[in-house]
Structure 1
Amino acid sequence: MYSLLLMAHSVLRWLVLLTLLYALFRGIRGWSGQRPFTRTDNTVRHNTATFAHLQLLIGYTLYYISPLIAAFRYGGAAEPAFPLRFFGWIHPLLMTVVVVLITIGSSAAKRQTTDAAKFRTMTIWFSLALLMLLVAIPWPFSPLAQRPYLRLF
């Protein structure tokens, strides 16, 4: 089960990133071009938040069943190695903040009265989330912790 969840978490990372980028593209285009906030824009906004929440749920599940995190929690070392600290508290904390930013942006955009305000709100909050997301993902080239682009069994 652990390897299946790890694979799902790895694949879903790309879905979250792509929907967030697409939502930002639509937000910037709508905000700068005075376009109407269409049903498609609303669906993209909603799907971005839904995929982020699903990713967070899988991430929390992995956190509690991961042998890596168990080594961090119960290792007893005075100063654990940085990758253990990254996955033990930095990654979960930053990703939780990312999902909170996406949720606030999605919810606030939905409640705006004008189309320009919806696009502006979505763009600002999702941009903040994207910046933090790019830092918190363990890219293969990251100085924080390295993981492959895609983890398949």
Structure 2
Amino acid sequence: MMYLPLLASHSLVRWLVLVSLLIAVINAYRGWLSNRRYLKFDDTIRITAVTIAHIQVGIGVWLYLVSPVVDYFLHNFSHAVHERHIRFFGMEHITMMVIAIIIVTIGSSKTKRRQTDKEKFKTMAIWFTIALVIIFLSIPWAFSPFTSRPLIRLF
């Protein structure tokens, strides 16, 4: 069955998403606040963060399609929507993550089109920060009040 390997992959890749976006955000704020030149290296950081985020959403959508939790949610919607854990994975998590990926994508696209280095850094800092906050709040952390999952899920 594909479910468990996808779940483990999705769990592990989240760390790459978080680290790459955090690096991109820190880099963007440093560049913006110090009036640094926007270099090819900065573009590589942006592209890497967006690429990892897109890979993660691809794994997530595939996981969504094969998840027994989501299957239960979709086939028992009237009852399942009232179950916090089931609703989180069936509706809330995927909705917020797709919104975050859209924000990252728009932010990346806008960053490319900005004319000055300061505008590039500022645009990336703002859009990527918003996406990072949404992602962080939508992850089922072990300490989450919404629902929890282990910090690392192995194969």
TM surpasses 0.5:
yes
TM range (shorter): over 0.9
The runs of 5 or more residues in structure 2 that have no matched partner are: none
Match of 1:151 in 2: 153
Letter of the 1:68 counterpart: V
Return structure 1 stretches of 4+ with deviation > 4 angstroms: none
Matched, 1:13 2:14: yes
Query: 1:69 and 1:95 mapped to 2: Cα distance?
Result: 15
Per-residue Cα deviation, 1:31-68 (whole angstroms, up to 9, x for no partner): 00011111111011011111111111110101010011
Q: 1: distance between equivalents of 2:6 and 2:20?
A: 20
SS at match of 2:37: coil
Q: Which residue is 1:138 aligned to?
A: 140
Over the matched positions of the two proteins, sequence identity in percent amounts to 44
Could you tell me how far 1:4 is from its partner in structure 2?
A: 1.2
Check the 8 A contact 1:72/1:80 in 2, yes or no. no
RMSD between aligned alpha carbons? Answer: 1.1
TM-score (norm 2): 0.95
Equivalent in the alignment of 1:60: 61
What's the offset of the Cα at 1:77? 5.0
Alpha-carbon distance between aligned partners in 2 of 1:143 and 1:82, rounded to the nearest angstrom: 10
Could you tell me the TM-score, scaled by structure 1's length?
0.96
The aligned amino acid for 1:110 is K
Give the corresponding residue for 1:25. Answer: 26
